[in-house]
């Protein structure tokens, strides 16, 4: 079994390149500074995926359509990040494109994603590649999806094939946010019957008191099995560091009477997935806000003027708390922040949020948490799983012309990366 690369810089304060006069925050040398995207949210016309169907059938959804046309414009996207001063880019490969029908792999699509990897490398961006980010091929879901007997086998056949194009990639995320995805699967009902599940996308909190359902236990087990099997394939076929990424919910009890329930919620929604990352090369931490729990379970976020555009409280401190929790529960698997950001139309607020989040993150570094990088969500304003209004991007996109306009936050994050500090 491959062990995390102990010699990779990123763990020790004495290897640092710079220190911040004002916050004491220190970025270890070799630290990844970048931004993240996902294929279905940016590429456009992902017609073979299950999400393409949900967008047509779910009552609250807008379609992704052309998304932001990154399928054709990825080079421009990457160039903007590199020019700003970032050194890493997380993006995904789309299973539905690579395997449009069971067992039929598209050489042209594999070549497309290889070009993306080569483009990132040539621009000085370390590619961080995600193999599954919420969307699955429609045929896979029609055939029973993740709960079917052969799901892991099917996923691994795809992973095996993708590993042919991953030469030179040092970071691979197998499955994005299995703890969200484990109940997102409920949407599969919209594919195999006329039933329309009464749920919105889990990434947007409605104001009617809706709370996220708990992950289905069988889905949790299946995804853990799939992650471990994919990890084995990737370790056999690549030299990359392998991990998965979690939605770190930062669950906390509203009072002493809710402690037991908070522990129960933490266990089924997060810790079971974190423990499954023991033995991985990194854990992808994705934190945005916090989640209170009372003695009945999750408490819906009340409407508040400071809430973000996805209805969550403004809590930049969530990132540092999440990094510490992941480090503890995984028993010290190195942390890569694979997502952190804010849905806001006010870019100055994005900068303020990110500055504060980084302060918390580097506080954790100072306390000994091994953090290997920070990848902001998101590079671009993009398709927020059925919605276009919540904008997370460092770069704005005109959805008629697809023209990209970098926001001040991109220059700010690039400067932070250049200085190596928050
Ligand atoms: C997901 C992204 C999503 C982001 C913001 C994460 O749950 O991985 O796909 O856009 O959060 O909501």
Per-residue pLDDT at 421: 65
Instruction: Centre a 10 Å sphere on the Cβ of residue 7 and count the other Cβ atoms it contains.
Output: 6
Residue 129 confidence (pLDDT): 99
Please give the pLDDT value at position 191: 79
Share of the chain above pLDDT 90, in %: 81
Q: Residue 8: is its pLDDT beyond 60?
A: no
Average pLDDT of the segment spanning 400-407: 98
Binning pLDDT at 50, 70 and 90, where does residue 369 land? Answer: very high
Question: Is 369 within 8 Å of 43 (Cβ atoms)?
Answer: no
pTM of the complete model beyond 0.75: yes
Does 207 qualify as catalytic in the annotation? no
pLDDT-based confidence at 296, cuts 50/70/90?
very high
**Under a CB-based contact definition with an 8 Å cutoff, are residues 335 and 370 in contact?**
yes
Q: Which atom of ligand 1 is nearest to the CA of 392?
A: 5
Q: Which of 342, 353, 317, 318 is nearest to 393 (CA)?
A: 342
Over the stretch 34-64, which tens digit does the pLDDT of each residue have?
999 999 999 999 999 999 998 988 878 899 9
User: Closest ligand 1 atom to the C-alpha of 310?
Assistant: 12
pLDDT in tens, 205-254: 877 777 888 998 999 999 999 999 999 999 999 999 999 999 999 999 99
CA pair distance 364, 103, nearest whole angstrom: 45
Would you state the structure tokens that stand for residue 268, as one six-digit string? 């089924």
Report pLDDT for 59. Answer: 79
- Using one digit for the tens of pLDDT, what is the confidence trace for 85-104? 999 999 999 999 999 999 99
Burial of 197 (0-12, 13-18, 19+ CB in 10 A): middle
Q: Which residue from 285, 198, 296, 299 is spatially nearest to 243, judged by alpha carbons?
A: 285
Mean pLDDT of 247-262: 98
Strands 371-377 and 335-339 come out as parallel
The third-level CATH classification (topology) of the domain covering 13-419 is TIM Barrel (3.20.20)
Pocket test for ligand 1, best of 183, 203, 288, 308 (most atoms within 8 A of CB): 203
- The residue ranking higher by pLDDT, 206 or 362, is 362
pLDDT of 285 reads 99
Answer yes or no: is pLDDT of 11 > 70: no
Distance CA 414, CA 105 (A): 38
70 closest CA partner among 51, 92, 52? 92
Which of 377, 382, 384, 391 has most ligand 1 atoms within 8 Å of CB, for mutation?
377
Which of these is catalytic: 43, 94, 170, 177? 177
Quick check: 94 and 43 in contact, CB under 8 A? yes
Closest atom of ligand 1 relative to the 203 alpha carbon: 12
Closest CA to 96 of 112, 109, 111, 114: 109
Return d(Cα 314, Cα 218) in angstroms, integer.
Answer: 33
Distance from the alpha carbon of residue 403 to the mean position of ligand 1, in angstroms: 23
* Residue 190, pLDDT score: 74
Residue 214 to residues 197, 217, 228, 374, Cα–Cα distance (Å)? 15, 8, 22, 28
Domain residue extents for the chain: 13-419
| Cα 376 to averaged position of ligand 1 atoms, centre (Å) | 11
pLDDT at 195: 72
Residue 400 CA, ligand 1 centroid: distance in Å: 23
pLDDT band at residue 12 under the 50/70/90 scheme: very low
pLDDT range class, residue 21, cuts 50, 70, 90: very low
Instruction: pLDDT band for 26, please (50, 70, 90 cuts).
Output: low
Pure H helices in 47-186: 50-57, 70-84, 95-98, 107-122, 138-142, 151-162, 178-184
Check whether 2 has a pLDDT greater than 50.
no
- E strand or H helix at 282, and its extent? strand 282-286
Q: What is the mean pLDDT of the chain?
A: 91
Position in ligand 1 atom list of the atom nearest CA 245: 8
| Residue 392 contacts residue 341 (beta carbons within 8 Å) | yes
Taking residues 264-284, what's their average pLDDT? 98
Average pLDDT over residues 162-177: 98
Q: CB neighbours (10 Å) of residue 8?
A: 16
Q: What is the pLDDT of residue 306?
A: 95
Q: What is the DSSP code (8-state) at residue 242?
A: E
How many Å apart are CA 332 and CA 371, to the nearest integer? 10
22 has a pLDDT exceeding 60: no
- Angle of CA points 168, 277, 94, to nearest 5°: 50
Ligand 1 environment, Cβ below 6 A: 38, 41, 176-177, 180, 203, 247, 286, 310, 339, 377, 384, 392
The string over 371-405, giving b where at least 16 C-beta atoms fall within 10 Å of a residue's C-beta and e elsewhere, is: bbbbbbbbbbbbbbbbbeebbbbbbbbeeeebebe
pLDDT tens sequence across 299-308: 999 889 999 9
Mutate to test the pocket of ligand 1, among 131, 248, 375, 385 (most ligand atoms within 8 A of CB): 385
pLDDT score for 56: 87
Instruction: Quote the DSSP letter at residue 11.
Output: S
* Residue 129 backbone dihedrals phi, psi, to 5 degrees: -110, 125
Ligand 1 center to 377 CA (angstroms): 8
């Amino acid at each position: 079994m491959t062990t995390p690369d102990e010699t990779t810089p990123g763990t020790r304060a004495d290897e640092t390149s710079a220190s911040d006069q004002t916050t004491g925050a220190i970025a270890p040398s070799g630290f990844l500074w970048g931004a993240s995207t996902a294929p279905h949210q940016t590429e456009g016309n992902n017609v073979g995926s299950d999400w393409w169907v949900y967008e047509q059938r779910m009552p609250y959804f807008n379609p992704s359509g052309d998304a932001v046309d990154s399928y054709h414009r990825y080079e421009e996207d990457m160039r903007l990040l590199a020019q700003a001063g970032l050194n890493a880019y997380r993006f995904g490969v789309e299973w539905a494109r690579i395997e449009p029908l069971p067992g039929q792999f598209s050489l042209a699509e594999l070549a497309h994603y290889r070009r993306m990897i080569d483009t990132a490398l040539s621009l000085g961006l370390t590619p961080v590649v995600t193999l599954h980010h919420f969307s699955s091929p429609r045929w896979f879901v029609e055939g029973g999806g993740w709960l079917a007997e052969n799901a892991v086998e099917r996923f691994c056949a795809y992973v095996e094939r993708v590993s042919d194009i991953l030469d030179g990639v040092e970071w691979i995320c197998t499955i994005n946010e299995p703890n969200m995805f484990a109940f997102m699967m409920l949407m599969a009902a919209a594919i195999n019957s006329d039933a329309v599940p009464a749920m919105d996308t889990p990434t947007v909190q409605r104001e009617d008191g809706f709370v996220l359902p708990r992950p289905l236990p069988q889905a949790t087990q299946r995804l853990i099995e799939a992650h471990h099997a994919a990890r084995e394939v990737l370790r056999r076929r690549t030299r990359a560091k392998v991990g998965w990424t979690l939605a770190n919910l930062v669950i906390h009890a509203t009072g002493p009477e809710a402690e037991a329930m908070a522990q129960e919620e933490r266990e089924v929604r997060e810790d079971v997935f974190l423990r499954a990352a023991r033995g991985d090369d990194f854990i992808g931490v994705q934190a945005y806000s916090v989640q209170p729990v009372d003695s009945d379970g999750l408490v819906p976020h009340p409407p508040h003027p400071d809430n973000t555009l996805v209805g969550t409280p403004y809590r930049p401190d969530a990132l540092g708390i999440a990094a510490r929790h992941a480090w503890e529960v995984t028993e010290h698997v190195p942390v890569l922040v694979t997502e952190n950001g804010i849905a806001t139309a006010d870019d100055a607020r994005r900068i303020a949020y990110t500055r504060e989040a980084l302060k918390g993150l580097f506080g954790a570094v100072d306390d000994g948490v091994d953090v290997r990088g920070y990848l902001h969500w998101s590079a671009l304003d993009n398709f927020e799983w059925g919605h276009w209004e919540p904008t997370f991007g460092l770069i704005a996109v005109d959805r008629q012309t697809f023209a990209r306009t970098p926001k001040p936050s991109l220059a700010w994050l690039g400067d932070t990366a250049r200085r190596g500090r928050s």
